[in-house]
Amino acid sequence: MALYARIILGMSNSQIDRMFDYEIPFEMLDKIETGMRVKVPFGGGNSLAEGYVVDICDETDVPEEKIKFIHSIVDKFSLLDKDMTDMAWWMKKRYLATFSSCLRTLLPAGADLKNTVKSVFIADKLKAEEFIAKNSGKPKYEAQVKVLQYLMEKESEEEPALRQILGVNVSPVNTLEKNGLVYFGKTRRRRKDSVVFAEYKKHILNDKQQYAFNRILSSDNSKPFLLFGVTGSGKTEIYLQFIEKIIEEGKQAIVLVPEISLTPLMVERFKGRFGNRAAVTHSRMSAGERLDVFMKAKYGEVDVVIGARSAVFMPFENLGAIIIDEEHDDSYKSEVTPKYDAIETAIFRCQQMGAKLILGSATPSVKSYHKALTGEYVLLTLEKRAGGGKLPECEIVDMRSELEEGNRSVISRALYGEIKEKLAYKKQIMLFINRRGASTFVSCRKCGHVMMCLSCNVSYKYHSDGNFLMCHYCGKKEPVPKVCPECGSKYIKYFGAGTQKIEDEIKHLFPSARVLRMDFDTTTGKDGHLKILEKFKNHEADILIGTQMIAKGHDFENVDLVGLVAADLSLNTADYMGTEKTFQLITQSAGRAGRQNGEGKVVIQTYQPENFAVETASKHDYVTFFEQEIQLRNMMSYPPFGYVYTLLATGKDENRVAEAIAVLGDIFKRENEDGFVILGPSEALISKIKDEYRFRLMIKGNDDEKMREYTEKCLELFGGRNGYRDVYINLFMNGGSIL
């Protein structure tokens, strides 16, 4: 009886984004499984294409004379189970992406399984037992008996390791293979953890922590939990003790963190508590390392995986919980197709597998806190720091007054005095700014010309360590001009401040201080961020200067001062979430101070001291901030009261991109039967990146489901116009403004 495999081709082409039936050859019947990748003949020329087996059935609608056979199997075993393929179907519908792009997203990058090693397998246990019984004690067969006895217990072993463990050469193994008692095959080479972590001892929960822990443990899993706890309130200890219970029940857990720089701290705590039953994955690991973690999760070799956004797809068979730390962070929203939201995806996975979802933050997103207040989430609050420590004192410094009084430095007099005092007492200091490079832009003081990257239509940033200009979008570097390219003037000046300029100024003001800088430029290596954090943790530096990667999650016991050099930069963007991001940034940064002794100090430098986000953050008052912000969102019909979709058109030819977005805009306006608000089309705020021009169209409405159906229909109508294949349309459904 013939069997057929339903295949989704691995090509992101909406025209062929459907299942194709192929007959399974007789010799593959006992090898092929759903979730495997295969190669199949496709099209009139029968060129080989890679695809995914999503179903196996015993009938097909394809006429017998037209049915084609699967050519070959790519994988030796299935990578995706039914739960994972079901999730891909959900992602396709939710994010209007192709099914093949969703399937690829579920797999780790480089999942080609090439990193294999020759292994020895027991062929027939009954024959092996007979051989051992017959030849035990005979010197001639001693080595062969030793090999078989070992394999009877382990069933397989890597061939080099087998010889090393048993102290035998290859001859007895080859003889056993020739006689059909063992056989050679390929297995995945597993990397072993070389770092041993110190034990991270269990802490006794205080009353508030215990209450939250008990509520989570006794829940029926029907609603996500929002664990809203101030910085230092002990959210991580609740995570750890809850996961311990999960593991006792034979289940597994996924823990998501937003920044690669947070990973070392979480790994230290989780590895210190769970040892090698915890694994970590992130983008700076090699493809092989990430594939190892994926396979360990699939085969139950680890109980916990800690990682960034894509770790939500770890293929645990008995998932008990997903924990999303710093749930407010933007990095949980993918910027590449499919543009999934890790929180939405985690909600789907937890409902699918009957698992619990915990969202943790000291500064919850407005959207999540609103859901908690309206009963969609369960709200659990930790108002105080664990151990009774106080939140740090915050001082707001008006930089406008500093300038008026003659201080042209990026360091205010108040911050200078605090740094000087803390250094005298051998305390550590963290200085934060939300940008890298030495200057915001470089311009001519005579004619006002700004040095621009012609590929991206953004200003170059000046880097003093190499004395060059660099575009932070495409990476292009240029020498600093000696004269203005526009008017020939020699009056070139650097404006603004970045991490590098602050580093230079701090070294000038405090020449004896040991200074570290942590931003994208200093952490490009695989473990660059880890080395810097370890140095600071080990008191090898007095001052750590950094971008947002140092603003949250870190716990350094000797840090008594945090300085926010430019606290209000995120207020000056065309993003309705600007005030929310500003509040989160200030609060999270401030939370690094005084975590052990409760004597921390925070200096907030701003040009907008009267802004309610700055004021409420300085008082650690999230509730007041939320009450004001939610009123503004309601008035403007922004999330959580409405939905914002952005369609971004990109391409090499400016006129073609402008024409395409205009055609798309006309389609949206013509098909708009439900009164959605359509803004644009217009140039994106950054009109060109990497020589690609950018135009956008925005849609606002109150019904997410109708908006999605409407958008899908309009994109299908636009896709039928084959004249714009050189223009790429990107859909962003997660709110915020697309720069």
Residue 240 sits in a domain of what CATH number?
A: 3.40.50.300
pLDDT tens-digit map of 181-226: 888 776 655 555 656 677 888 889 999 999 999 999 998 888 999 9
DSSP 8-state symbol, 521: G
363-372, 584-593, 649-658: segment of lowest average pLDDT: 584-593
637 vs 664 pLDDT, higher one: 664
Task: Give the pLDDT of residue 288.
Answer: 74
Torsion of CA 319, 332, 294, 195, to 10 degrees: -100
Are the C-beta atoms of residues 111 and 37 closer than 8 Å to each other?
no
Q: Using the predicted structure, report yes or no on whether residue 551 has a pLDDT greater than 70.
A: no
Task: Give the pLDDT of residue 713.
Answer: 92
Task: Give the pLDDT of residue 499.
Answer: 75
pLDDT tens-digit map of 288-307: 778 888 888 988 889 999 99
Residues 346 and 258 in one domain: yes
pLDDT tens-digit map of 265-280: 777 888 889 988 999 8
Task: Give the pLDDT of residue 737.
Answer: 55
We report the CATH number of the domain holding residue 680 as: 3.30.70.600
- Cβ contacts of 595-599, under 8 Å, gap ≥ 24: 595/231, 595/232, 595/385, 595/389, 595/555, 595/556, 595/557, 595/559, 596/389, 596/557, 596/558, 597/389, 597/560, 598/385, 598/388, 598/389, 598/390, 599/390, 599/560
Q: Using the predicted structure, report yes or no on whether residue 438 has a pLDDT greater than 60.
A: no
- How many domains, in total, are found in the chain? 6
Q: Using the predicted structure, report yes or no on whether residue 244 has a pLDDT greater than 90.
A: yes
Residue 12 belongs to some domain of the structure: yes
Residue 646 forms beta bridges with which residues?
A: 698, 732
Residues 430 and 447 in one domain: no
Task: Give the pLDDT of residue 381.
Answer: 94
Task: Give the pLDDT of residue 316.
Answer: 93
Residue 87 belongs to some domain of the structure: yes
Domain that holds residue 410: 393-436+502-633
Instruction: Identify the band that residue 543 occupies on the pLDDT scale cut at 50, 70 and 90.
Output: very high
Residues 539 and 447 in one domain: no
Q: Using the predicted structure, report yes or no on whether residue 232 has a pLDDT greater than 90.
A: no
Q: What is the mean pLDDT of residues 11-38?
A: 84
Residues 507 and 365 in one domain: no
We report the CATH number of the domain holding residue 37 as: 3.40.1440.60
Q: What is the mean pLDDT of residues 397-411?
A: 86
Exposed / middle / buried, residue 59 (Cβ in 10 Å: 0-12, 13-18, 19+): exposed
The percentage of the chain sitting over the pLDDT mark of 90, rounded to a whole number, equals: 33
Residues 398 and 516 in one domain: yes
DSSP strand pairing (116-122 vs 182-188): antiparallel
Instruction: Identify the band that residue 669 occupies on the pLDDT scale cut at 50, 70 and 90.
Output: very high
410-414, 497-501, 586-590: segment of lowest average pLDDT: 497-501
Task: Give the pLDDT of residue 253.
Answer: 96
Residues 566 and 607 in one domain: yes
Residues 12 and 90 in one domain: yes
Q: Using the predicted structure, report yes or no on whether residue 452 has a pLDDT greater than 80.
A: yes
Report residue 511 as tokens. Answer: 């020449």
552 vs 98 pLDDT, higher one: 98
Q: Using the predicted structure, report yes or no on whether residue 437 has a pLDDT greater than 50.
A: no
Report residue 523 as tokens. Answer: 């952490």
720 vs 371 pLDDT, higher one: 371
Residue 201 belongs to some domain of the structure: no
What's the whole-model pTM score?
0.79
Question: What 3-state DSSP class applies to 705?
Answer: helix
CA distance 718 to 724: 9
CA distance 123 to 657: 62
Q: Using the predicted structure, report yes or no on whether residue 706 has a pLDDT greater than 90.
A: yes
Q: Using the predicted structure, report yes or no on whether residue 227 has a pLDDT greater than 80.
A: yes
Q: Using the predicted structure, report yes or no on whether residue 114 has a pLDDT greater than 60.
A: no
Nearest to 480 by CA among 446, 442, 453, 436: 442
Phi-psi region of 120 (alpha: psi -120 to 50; beta: other; left: phi over 0): beta
Residues 629 and 709 in one domain: no
Q: Using the predicted structure, report yes or no on whether residue 436 has a pLDDT greater than 50.
A: no
Task: Give the pLDDT of residue 399.
Answer: 84
pLDDT tens-digit map of 124-183: 788 888 999 899 889 899 999 999 988 888 777 877 778 878 888 889 888 998 888 888
Q: Which residues contact 437 (CB under 8 A, 6 or more apart)?
A: 461, 462, 463, 470, 472, 498, 499, 500, 501, 521
Q: Which of these three, 600, 633, 666, is where a domain ends?
A: 633
Q: Using the predicted structure, report yes or no on whether residue 625 has a pLDDT greater than 50.
A: yes
Task: Give the pLDDT of residue 353.
Answer: 93
pLDDT tens-digit map of 42-73: 988 888 988 889 889 988 988 888 899 999 88
pLDDT, mean over the chain? 84
Residues 726 and 671 in one domain: yes
Residue 737 belongs to some domain of the structure: no
Instruction: Identify the band that residue 439 occupies on the pLDDT scale cut at 50, 70 and 90.
Output: very low
Residue 199 belongs to some domain of the structure: no
Exposed / middle / buried, residue 530 (Cβ in 10 Å: 0-12, 13-18, 19+): middle
Q: Which of these three, 135, 159, 188, is where a domain ends?
A: 188
pLDDT tens-digit map of 331-383: 899 888 888 999 999 999 999 999 999 999 989 999 999 999 999 999 999 98
Q: Which of these three, 159, 188, 217, is where a domain ends?
A: 188
Are the C-beta atoms of residues 243 and 213 closer than 8 Å to each other?
no
DSSP 8-state symbol, 397: E
Residue 512 belongs to some domain of the structure: yes
Residue 198 belongs to some domain of the structure: no
Residues 526 and 619 in one domain: yes
Task: Give the pLDDT of residue 558.
Answer: 81
Q: Within 10 Å of residue 455's Cβ, how many Cβ atoms?
A: 16
Residues 407 and 447 in one domain: no
Residues 553 and 413 in one domain: yes
Residue 638 belongs to some domain of the structure: no
